[in-house]
């Protein structure tokens, strides 16, 4: 599949990569796969604490896009972007320890998946589990960089499923209107959990979503690392020049289930076979050897280098201790002396649960709300599970009802500052709601009672 530019002024020839850069792309894809293979083994040995998501067959996406960034640029990975972390400089041991919840991990064992970042050095924002939320966050990072005159670009990834969230659209619109130096990679791997993409989006190309925001987009073969790199590089340079954000759709395939627990039996065999025959690493090896950039000897050297590195990184991770139990109370909520003496106060004062004064008279009321009465006539529960008789702050039930009626009268008598006469008369004309045990009188009338 060729790269298609959608509204960016036509696809341009990519800048030529040096031999070393071609080999870097190969190294990082192989490293990405080997790191994840190692983690699958750790998972089967019950050493992985959290969820384990696979990017098998999607390595070209993470590596090709992140490789287009400079050191000063920012990225925020999603669950299938371990390759991007490796390119940015995260050592494999951090990825292992993070998933094993070890004390030396970036979050010191507080998280068992990939919720970690590095704001100081590597410029990585931690993933946010709520799909799409990284889009406005990274737009903010991009705008902040521009404000500070840093000429940085921010990048994040979103799945085909995640591209249907509201925040995807809000975030991309915001990025577009702000002309943020931001690149969004839409990783279309054909599945969102067990939902095929055609069942959730009526578009052939998800890149078309960009049209709604007046920004350019590209559709690119997600298993061709050179096409991805060269397209991402164009997008990054364009964003850096101040020409605004770009959406980059990469079409690929999720070869494993959503996570380790999911055998993905819902995926048609033919579909799997089609994509397995297009393995991005095998395709790239073929390209490199055709171009005489890689021979068997180089390949062996790279394999050896990765094997040696990961053996050491895995050893380090396995030998790291688990966090001490008392560490559980550190870094959460607050660290002051009285922190952990805080006790919840479930009981709420009546004023807090009484409807606020409003210039708009309610046309219906929730039975018992603010009156201390539940619809059955008993004490209204203030919190779920709290069925004890409420004390109503020392007031009897009839006193409470009087207080509510007084409040409503006060609302009606109140001059409506800033409102037109018309608005005032509307309020005056409307029926005064009288709270009865079950429904307001207005509701009772409507119900014909």
Token pair recorded at residue 190: 């054909």
Across the beta sheet with 74-76, the strand order is 4-6, 217-221, 246-251, 182-188, 154-159, 74-76
DSSP assignment string, 241-301: TT---EEEEEE----S-SSTT---TTS-HHHHHHHHTT-HHHHHHHHHHHTTS--HHHHHH
145 neighbors 152 (Cβ within 8 angstroms): yes
User: In the chain, what is the straight-line distance between the N-terminal and C-terminal CA atoms, in Å?
Assistant: 69
Residue from 99, 118, 117, 119 nearest 109 by CA? 99
* Cβ at position 197, least distance to Mg ion in Å: 7
Where would I find the H helices in 78-165? 82-88, 92-100, 134-147
* Cβ at position 80, least distance to ligand TPP in Å: 5
Q: Near ligand TPP by CB under 6 A, which window of 34-42, 124-132, 237-245, 429-437? A: 124-132
192 binds ligand TPP (CB under 6 A): yes
Select the residue interacting with ligand TPP from 77, 112, 127, 162 (CB under 6 A).
Answer: 162
Q: Which does 327 bind (CB under 5 to 8 A by kind): ligand TPP, Mg ion, none?
A: none
Half-sphere exposure of 53 (CA within 13 A, CB side): 19
Each residue 289-318 as x (binds ligand TPP by CB under 6 A) or -, in order, gives ------------------------------
Select the residue interacting with ligand TPP from 129, 319, 398, 421 (CB under 6 A).
Answer: 129
Contacts with ligand TPP: how many residues (CB under 6 A)?
16
Q: Look-up: residue for tokens 């067990």?
A: 194
Where would I find the H helices in 269-396? 269-276, 280-290, 296-319, 350-353
Q: Which does 165 bind (CB under 5 to 8 A by kind): Mg ion, ligand TPP, none?
A: ligand TPP
DSSP assignment string, 17-35: PPHHHHHHHHHHHHHHHHH
DSSP secondary structure code for residue 121 in this structure: T
Exposed, middle or buried: residue 48 (CB in 10 Å: 0-12, 13-18, 19+)?
buried
CB-nearer residue toward ligand TPP: 26 or 191: 191
- Residue 192, helix vs strand vs coil: strand
254 binds ligand TPP (CB under 6 A): yes
Q: Which does 137 bind (CB under 5 to 8 A by kind): Mg ion, ligand TPP, none?
A: none
Select the residue interacting with ligand TPP from 73, 94, 160, 224 (CB under 6 A).
Answer: 160
DSSP assignment string, 41-63: HHHHTT---S-----TT-HHHHH
Q: Which residues in 33-92 contact ligand TPP (CB under 6 A)?
A: 80
Q: Near Mg ion by CB under 5 A, which window of 26-34, 110-118, 183-191, 280-288? A: 183-191
- Residue 217, helix vs strand vs coil: strand
CB-nearer residue toward Mg ion: 86 or 197: 197
Select the residue interacting with ligand TPP from 4, 14, 126, 165 (CB under 6 A).
Answer: 165
CB atoms within 10 A of CB 107: 20
Select the residue interacting with ligand TPP from 130, 322, 328, 431 (CB under 6 A).
Answer: 130
* Cβ at position 143, least distance to ligand TPP in Å: 23
CA gap 26, 281 in Å, rounded: 7
Q: Look-up: residue for tokens 């779920």?
A: 384
Q: Which helix (H) or strand (E) holds 413?
A: helix 397-413
171 binds ligand TPP (CB under 6 A): no
90 binds Mg ion (CB under 5 A): no
Select the residue interacting with Mg ion from 158, 186, 192, 350 (CB under 5 A).
Answer: 192
Select the residue interacting with Mg ion from 109, 140, 159, 370 (CB under 5 A).
Answer: 159
* Cβ at position 258, least distance to Mg ion in Å: 9
CB-nearer residue toward Mg ion: 80 or 439: 80
48 binds Mg ion (CB under 5 A): no
Q: Near ligand TPP by CB under 6 A, which window of 189-197, 365-373, 376-384, 436-444? A: 189-197
Q: Near ligand TPP by CB under 6 A, which window of 64-72, 125-133, 202-210, 348-356? A: 125-133
249 binds Mg ion (CB under 5 A): no
Q: Which residues in 320-349 contact ligand TPP (CB under 6 A)?
A: none
81 binds Mg ion (CB under 5 A): no
Residue from 306, 367, 350 nearest 37 by CA? 306
Select the residue interacting with Mg ion from 54, 58, 81, 189 (CB under 5 A).
Answer: 189
CA gap 328, 390 in Å, rounded: 36
390 binds ligand TPP (CB under 6 A): no
Q: Which helix (H) or strand (E) holds 221?
A: strand 217-221
Question: What residues line the site for ligand TPP (CB under 6 A)?
Answer: 80, 129-131, 159-162, 165, 187, 189, 191-193, 254, 258
**Interface with Mg ion (CB under 5 A):** 159-160, 189, 192
């Amino acid at each position: 599949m060729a790269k298609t530019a959608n509204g960016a002024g036509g696809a341009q020839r990519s800048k030529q990569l040096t031999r070393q850069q071609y080999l870097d792309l190969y190294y990082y894809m192989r490293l990405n796969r080997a790191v994840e293979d190692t983690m699958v083994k750790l998972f089967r040995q019950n050493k992985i604490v959290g969820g384990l998501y696979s990017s098998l067959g999607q390595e070209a996406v993470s590596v090709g896009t992140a490789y287009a960034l400079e050191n000063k640029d920012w990225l925020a990975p999603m669950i299938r972007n371990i390759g991007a972390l490796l390119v940015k400089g995260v050592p494999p041991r951090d990825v292992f320890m993070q998933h094993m919840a070890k004390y030396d991990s970036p979050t010191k064992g507080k998280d068992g998946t990939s919720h970690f970042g590095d704001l100081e050095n590597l410029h990585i924002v931690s993933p946010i589990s709520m799909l799409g939320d990284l889009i406005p966050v990274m737009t903010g990072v991009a705008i902040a960089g521009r404000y500070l005159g840093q000429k940085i670009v921010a990048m994040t990834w979103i799945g085909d499923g995640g591209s249907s969230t509201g925040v995807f659209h809000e975030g991309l619109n915001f990025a577009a209107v702000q002309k943020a130096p931001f690149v969004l990679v839409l990783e279309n791997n054909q599945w969102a959990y067990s939902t095929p993409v055609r069942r959730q989006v009526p578009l052939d190309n998800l890149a078309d979503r960009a049209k709604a925001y007046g920004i350019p987009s590209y559709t690119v073969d997600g298993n061709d690392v050179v096409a991805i790199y060269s397209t991402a590089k164009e997008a990054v340079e364009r964003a850096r020049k101040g020409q605004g954000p770009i959406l980059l759709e990469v079409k690929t395939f999720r070869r494993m289930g959503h996570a380790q627990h999911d055998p993905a039996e819902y995926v048609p065999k033919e579909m799997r076979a089609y994509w397995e025959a297009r393995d991005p690493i095998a395709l790239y090896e073929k390209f490199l050897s055709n171009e005489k950039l890689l021979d068997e000897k180089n390949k062996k050297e790279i394999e050896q280098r990765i094997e040696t590195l990961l053996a050491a990184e895995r050893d380090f991770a396995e030998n790291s201790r688990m966090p001490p139990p008392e560490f559980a109370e550190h870094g959460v909520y607050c660290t002051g002396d009285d922190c952990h003496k805080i006790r919840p106060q479930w009981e709420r004062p009546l004023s807090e649960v009484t409807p606020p004064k409003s210039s708009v008279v309610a046309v219906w009321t929730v039975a018992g709300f603010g009156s201390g009465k539940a619809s059955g006539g008993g004490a209204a529960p203030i919190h779920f599970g709290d069925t004890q008789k409420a004390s109503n702050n020392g007031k009897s039930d009839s006193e409470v009802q009087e207080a509510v009626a007084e409040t409503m009268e006060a609302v009606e008598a109140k001059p409506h500052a800033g409102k037109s006469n018309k608005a005032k008369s509307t309020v005056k004309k409307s029926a005064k709601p009288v709270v009865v045990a079950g429904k307001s009188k207005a509701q009772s009338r409507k119900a014909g009672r």
